[in-house]
Structure 1
Amino acid sequence: MKHLFKPETMRQVMIILATIVFVKLVWVVVALIWLPTSGVEYNEDKGPKNLYYRVRISLDNQPQQAERPKEAPKASIQDIDLLAIYSASDITVVTVRHKGKTKVLSKGEEINGFVLEGAGSDYATFSKDEKLYTVTLFMPKKSDKGVGTITTVNGSAGVSPQRTKSDQEGPVTGEVVDAGDRRIIDRSLITHYATNMGDIFKDIGIKDIKDGDSIKGFQVSFVRRGSHFSKLGLQRGDIIKSVNGQEINSYNAAFGIYKDIQNIENLTLVIVRDNKEMELEYEVN
């Protein structure tokens, strides 16, 4: 019987197949250990690297200059305008303006750090830091209905005099009674406020109302609840136009009425409230 294949040939074929299987098995092991599980790694060529880098230098360790606190503007007597003066043997009251706001001061009170020490016929004296300053009132012009031009002058140094309190100070007595068509004021109240003007402005605030450069009245800015002035029927926002028929169109006119307040028997105020003019009637008893 004749063989189809020679034994030697079959042996060589088996050796070749065994070699191929071995190589394949080795390749599979290498692939599982070192090669990626999916895809192919790809390193992008990003070009040549920079030879320098940006570096932020911190200056925290360098000494810093301390910021100088801003100095507050120094108070100046020239910032105070003298609008009106009422000076008698037992009382001194002035009206001043500072930064657009009007304020009434009695002796011993201060504004912008300056204390009112006294007044003459056309000037007022203020003290600060043991120095005395004079503020002059220029007399109003008749053509300006008593308003006039108000200016200040430089202060002069001096020793501050001691302040004295008015001998007329004392408790407020008397009452205001509502009688329907009018209110009855006890004369003791008039006497007290006529000699202690500083007490007036603890209970009521007054500021001028202007039409251009002319004063057209004085407005009530506040009334302390429960005070005698609240019992007079005055309310915040009321504008006092006239007293007993005399128009209140200047500080001189207002102080003129105040000067003679103890001599009156009846009092009529014309006021504007909520854009309506009305009268308030009083009887002094």
Structure 2
Amino acid sequence: MNEQAKALNSISSESRILRGRRALILGIANERSIAYGCARVFRKLGAELAITYLNERARPFVEPLARELDASILAPCDVAQGGQLEAVFDRIRSEWGSLDIALHSIAFAPKEDLQGRLIDSSQDGFRVAMDISCHSFVRMARLAEPLMTQGGTLLAMSYYGANRVVPNYNLMGPVKAALESTVRYLAYELGEKHITVHAISPGPLKTRAASGLKDFDVLLTEAAERAPLGELVDIDDVGLTSAYLTTPFARRITGTTVYVDGGLSIMA
């Protein structure tokens, strides 16, 4: 049994602290997605799930995972297409009537802008990256707010490149920095409604999105060598931390960026 399986199996049936909670997960693409790791932990802890898929081409990869997790709701959601995110929330309102957790694990930039220098990025490419990777989190929060009548938690996925220069991260660095700032402002605005807001900053992970970065294999190797814990994190590590932030144990924490990276972010 690998360490990832051990971490999940260590959660006993009596530890279902999220039983009765309802969680929306945006951004599952396949079984290697960070969003899937989070959904898997949430479900293990008893949460009821709503899961989205990008489009019909993605559906065959996501639908089996939704069945595995007994997701109550499975719906298409391309945040770049007007009305799709709203349709997801309409369905949640109709079928559930309330929402406790909303997790945003979506990022995109056109390949030519992502793999080139920031200084050479196009206006359209920057706008698209900012809209999909950052402003869609604002839109998600706006739709979630009226459904979180008893409070709730909003989670977004960031990366170390938001605060430090990571070679080849390029355009996504400023975009993730904007996302982390957005988390802080939303935490301020929604705090009176007992809605907490967090950015999760995982260390390098072998996801489909990350594969678009130039020399990503080199980044993975260097991360494992430099991290104080001496190993890379996995999607369940991110899920366990995300789940903690949705529980009463973290009820006085909000507006944070939480690093799940084996200590990599503390290294010079």
TM class by smaller structure = under 0.3
Bigger fraction of residues in strand: 1
Which protein shows a greater Rg? 1
Q: Which has the higher contact order (CA 8 A, sep 6+)?
A: 2
TM-score by length of 2: 0.26
| Structure having the larger proportion of residues in helix | 2
